[in-house]
């Protein structure tokens, strides 16, 4: 069940191999393990994607792909999961990460207003930057681990249910006249 749901949303591996931004990985993309969808590869990819989704950098997909390749987990799922943070979800997610960083560092919460300027960015690195970056790291690790464990559990649960359904069907077939 989980495999069918995930496969429905993932692009074809030939499409990803030809993607211009992923061409930097060259022949590494031809490893068949990067395209298999099983419990281990799906859970690992989901965890990696969630971890990098919390990184406030513009090249999250590359980082996710760069870690998915040596760990030999599903590359399309790893790259696609990063898009949990998109232009619509980024503000609340990063604000939440900032609040976690403030809580962990024990620093006072600072009010700020976002400006799209280099000056604002440089000033913010010194004021809200440490709490924000720590919050991003902690949230990335926590959600990455939670995503890995929950998808692993969901996969096992769906396989167990499928086996039970097959066993029940087989028992009904044998007991029928």
Contact indicator for 45, 81 with CB cutoff of 8 Å: yes
**For 71-80, how does the pLDDT look when each residue is reduced to its tens digit (9 = 90+)?**
989 988 999 9
Count Cβ atoms below 10 Å from residue 6 Cβ, excluding itself. Answer: 19
Closest CA to 138 of 96, 75, 88, 82: 96
**For 131-158, how does the pLDDT look when each residue is reduced to its tens digit (9 = 90+)?**
889 999 999 999 999 999 999 999 999 9
Task: Provide the number of structural domains found in the chain.
Answer: 1
Q: What is the 3-state secondary structure (H, E, C) of 153-174?
A: HHHHHHHHHHHHHHHHHHHHHH
Closest CA to 83 of 54, 117, 121, 114: 54
Distance between CA atoms of residues 63 and 46, nearest Å:
14
- How many Å separate Cα 6 from the centre of its chain? 13
Q: How confident is the model at residue 127 (pLDDT cuts 50, 70, 90)?
A: confident
pLDDT of the residue at 111: 77
Structural domain including 141 reads: 2-175
Distance between CA atoms of residues 147 and 144, nearest Å:
5
Q: How confident is the model at residue 23 (pLDDT cuts 50, 70, 90)?
A: low
pLDDT (average), residues 25-45:
81
Q: What is the mean pLDDT of the chain?
A: 84
**Percent of the chain's residues with pLDDT above 90:** 39
Closest CA to 157 of 45, 76, 43: 43
Q: What is the pTM (predicted TM-score) of this model?
A: 0.77
CA torsion 117→118→123→126, rounded to 10°?
130
């Amino acid at each position: 069940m989980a495999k069918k749901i995930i496969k429905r949303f993932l692009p074809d591996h030939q499409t990803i191999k030809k993607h211009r931004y992923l061409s930097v990985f060259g022949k590494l993309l031809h490893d068949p393990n990067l395209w298999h969808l099983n419990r281990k590869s799906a859970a690992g990819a989901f965890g990696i994607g969630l971890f990098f989704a919390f990184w406030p950098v513009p090249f999250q997909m590359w980082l996710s792909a760069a870690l998915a390749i040596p760990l030999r987990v599903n590359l399309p799922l790893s790259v696609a999961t990063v898009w949990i943070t998109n232009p619509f979800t980024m503000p609340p997610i990063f604000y939440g990460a900032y609040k976690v960083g403030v809580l962990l560092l024990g620093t006072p919460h600072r009010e700020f207003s976002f400006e799209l300027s280099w000056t604002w960015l440089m000033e913010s690195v010194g004021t809200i930057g440490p709490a924000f970056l720590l919050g991003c790291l902690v949230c990335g690790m926590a959600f990455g681990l939670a995503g890995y464990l929950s998808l692993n559990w969901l996969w096992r649960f769906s396989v167990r249910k499928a086996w039970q359904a097959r066993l029940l069907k087989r028992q009904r077939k044998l007991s029928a006249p």
